[in-house]
Amino acid sequence: MTSSKPPKLAARIERWPIAGAFTISRGGKTEAITVVAEVRQGAHTGRGECVPYARYGETPEATLAALLSMQEALRGGLDRRGLQGAVPAGAARNALDCALLDLEAKIGGQRAWELLGRPAPRPCTTAFTISLGTPEAMAAAAAKASDRPLLKIKLGGDGDGDRIAAVRKQAPESELIVDANEAWTPANLEQNLAACEAVGVTLIEQPLPAGQDGLLARIRRPVAICADESVHHRASLEGLRERYDAINIKLDKAGGLTEALAMADAARALGFEIMVGCMVATSLSMAPAMLLTPQARFVDLDGPLLLARDRDGGLRYDGSTVYPPDAALWG
């Protein structure tokens, strides 16, 4: 930071209505609750957004408190690099990491990718999510989205063969990836894998619960399997090589873009395909993740498309094509 004034941190909880409802195997919701961090120094303000994830015991209130508790450390000189060792991976660190990087780029008059020495993101195709429901409801949703080149299908366990067959019938040309969100069991795993293979699914996310996925190393995997809940940061990669073919990198899990980029480098060195994913959130959450897209085989940054409205100045979406952020939004 070049300003002589110490940075000032502000944070708040925001609520964003979802268009309809968003349902996965663990339940549904009608709004996205995000926490925004803003770090101001001199005339510049950096912003970052995170989504606390109940799956890992995070709440918006605790995340907000964790962010605000960092004020004195920032005044004392804590920067983005020091943050990695000072705060554990998770939503709070993500918001602050992205805010500090945004601030650093604005003060330096650079784009974030230039600052980091990374390739500039380009327009790319994002998946569009079909929520879990009855085969009939999912087929109707797939029919409406059948012109999109990449669909992500939320599944939930028993009956998933009927669901994925119904979706494929209504979206015959779309590439399909599915996300079981840990809902499959050893009893239905191979049956569900066969159902996905039969309709040409390209990738399956997290079929078994994290910590109970050893069976994936002992069976034939007719479709590539992607780790989501089983992978968080670089330290978790090595143990996944026999069970998974790809990993889903989400900034809220990794604890920010700094770790996510390092994680992507490490994962590719180990032979994993990369998927960049998101929670349901605004474009402020998606914008930093765009820096991962040059390395990603799969991009799933459709969070704003699932909202009733995005924040002003959000990312540009043209159908399923998402464009890099303007500097006014982030980075």
Helices (H), the chain: 60-68, 71-75, 80-86, 91-108, 112-116, 135-144, 160-170, 189-198, 251-254, 257-269, 283-289
Q: Is residue 240 part of a domain?
A: yes
CA distances from residue 208 to 71, 135, 158, 186, 196 in whole angstroms, order as listed: 40, 21, 13, 8, 15
CATH code for the domain of 66 = 3.30.390.10
Q: Is residue 209 part of a domain?
A: yes
Is there a single domain that holds both residue 60 and residue 134?
A: no
Is there a single domain that holds both residue 146 and residue 204?
A: yes
Number of folded domains that form the chain: 2
The residues carrying an active-site annotation are: 154, 250
End of a domain among 88, 116, 144? 116
Q: Tally Cβ neighbours within 10 Å of residue 94.
A: 32
**Domain region containing 36:** 8-116
What's the pTM value of the predicted model, to 2 decimals? 0.94
The confidence score (pLDDT) of residue 1 equals 44
DSSP bridge pairs for 278: none
End of a domain among 62, 82, 116? 116
Is there a single domain that holds both residue 107 and residue 247?
A: no
Is there a single domain that holds both residue 90 and residue 165?
A: no
Q: Is residue 45 part of a domain?
A: yes
Q: Which residues contact 285 (CB under 8 A, 6 or more apart)?
A: 34, 49, 50, 51, 251, 252, 278, 279, 303
Encoding tokens for residue 14? 């925001």
Is there a single domain that holds both residue 180 and residue 233?
A: yes
The answer to whether the beta carbons of residues 271 and 241 sit under 8 Å apart is yes
The confidence score (pLDDT) of residue 25 equals 62
Is there a single domain that holds both residue 139 and residue 60?
A: no
Is there a single domain that holds both residue 128 and residue 112?
A: no
Q: Is residue 179 part of a domain?
A: yes
What whole-number distance in Å separates Cα of residue 123 and Cα of residue 229?
A: 27
Is there a single domain that holds both residue 132 and residue 239?
A: yes
Q: Is residue 69 part of a domain?
A: yes
End of a domain among 85, 116, 147? 116
Q: Print pLDDT tens along the chain (331 aa).
A: 445 688 999 999 999 999 987 877 667 778 999 999 999 999 999 999 999 999 899 999 999 999 999 999 999 999 999 999 999 999 999 999 999 999 999 999 999 999 999 999 999 999 999 999 999 999 999 999 999 999 999 999 789 999 999 999 999 999 999 999 999 999 999 999 999 999 999 999 999 999 999 999 999 999 999 999 999 889 889 889 999 999 999 999 999 999 999 999 999 999 999 999 999 999 999 999 999 999 999 999 999 999 999 999 999 999 999 999 999 999 9
CATH code for the domain of 213 = 3.20.20.120
Closest CA to 78 of 177, 9, 168: 9
Is there a single domain that holds both residue 281 and residue 317?
A: yes
**What is the helix (H) or strand (E) element at residue 32, kind and residue range?**
strand 27-41
Q: Is residue 31 part of a domain?
A: yes
Is there a single domain that holds both residue 22 and residue 110?
A: yes
Is there a single domain that holds both residue 93 and residue 216?
A: no
Encoding tokens for residue 193? 């894998």
Is there a single domain that holds both residue 156 and residue 254?
A: yes
Three-state SS for 66?
helix
